[in-house]
Amino acid sequence: MHNELTDTEIIRRILQGEQSLFAQLVQKYQQYVFTLVMRFTDNREDAEEISQDVFVKAYRSLADFRGESKFSTWLYTVVRTSCITFLRKKKLTITSMDNERTFSQLENRESGFSANTIEQKSKYAMVTAAIQLLSPDDGQLITLFYKGEQSLEEIGRIMGLDPNTVKVKLHRARHRLKEKMEKHFSHEVQDIQGG
C-alpha cells in the first residue's frame, strides 16, 4: 500500500504529522545517499554517520522541499553540504584534481588500495573500487548520472554549473575512470573491451 505512494505524497503526509512514513524515504534512498557519501570518504563508519546526519537534516528541513525538483536532487544538496561540513570538522581539505597535493593523496590512497588488493574480482566490484579511486567530484558525478538517474540539466542545477560544463566534466570523469581501471584491473578491462 505504502509502496505506491510517491515521494511528494509521502512528504506531504510527513509534514502533516505522520513521522513514521519518513522510514520509507530512508529505505528508498539510503543506498543512494550512502554511495554518494562514500565518494567523499573511504571510511564506512564515517560514511554511515554522515548519511545518518543527511537524513536527519533532510527531515528537519523537509518543509523547504517545494517539489520543484526530484527528491533525490534535493537530497543531494543536503549530502554535499553535510559532507563538506563533516570534512571541515575533520580538518580534511577538499582540493581540486589539479592540485599536486591531491595527486599525492590519491597516489597514497591507490598504493594503500593496491596493498589490500581487492579480493572480489567481479566486474561490479572492480567498477566500484575504480570509482572509489577517483576524486570525490568525479565519483559523485558518475554516481549521480548513473545511479541517481539525474539528467545533465539536473546535475548542473544542483552543482551550479552549465549542463555543457557538466557534460565535459562527465566525459573527463569517465576517462579518468577508464585510466584507473586500466591501471589497477587490466584483466577485467580486457574482458570489458572484448565484450
Partner 1 sequence: MRYRIYREADRAKAINRALDHLTDQAGAPDHLTENSENWSDLYNDPKVKSMNTEQPMEDRLWDYIDGQCSPTEKSAIEELLAANLDWQQKHRELLNLQQLLSTSELEAPSMRFTKNVMEEIARYHVAPATKTYVNKNVIRGIGAFFITTILGVLAFLFSQFKWTSGAGSTGGNLSIPIDKLQLDRRLDSLNYSRFFNNTYIIVFLLIAVIAGLMMLDMYLQQKKNTPTT
Torsion region of 38: left, alpha or beta (phi above 0 gives left; psi -120 to 50 gives alpha): alpha
- Is 14 or 91 the residue whose CB approaches partner 1 more closely? 14
Distances (CA, A) of 15 to 8, 29, 63, 91, 129: 11, 18, 7, 36, 39
- Interface with partner 1 in residues 155-194 (CB under 8 A): 167, 170-172, 174-179, 182, 189-190, 192-193
Contact of 48 with 30, CB cutoff 8 Å: no
Binding status of residue 127 toward partner 1 by CB under 8 A: yes
Binding status of residue 147 toward partner 1 by CB under 8 A: yes
Secondary structure E strands in 24-132: none
Place of cell 548513473: 146
User: In the complex, what is the shortest distance from the CB of residue 9 to partner 1, in angstroms, rounded to a whole number?
Assistant: 16
C-alpha to C-alpha distance for 154 and 73, rounded to whole angstroms: 7
Here the cell at position 71 is 527528491
Binding status of residue 68 toward partner 1 by CB under 8 A: no
- Is 109 or 172 the residue whose CB approaches partner 1 more closely? 172
Say how many C-beta atoms besides its own lie within 10 A of residue 22's C-beta: 17
Binding status of residue 152 toward partner 1 by CB under 8 A: yes
The binding site for partner 1 (CB under 8 A) comprises 14-15, 19-20, 22-23, 26-27, 30-32, 34-35, 38, 47-48, 51-52, 55-56, 59-64, 123-124, 127-128, 142, 146-147, 152, 167, 170-172, 174-179, 182, 189-190, 192-193, 195
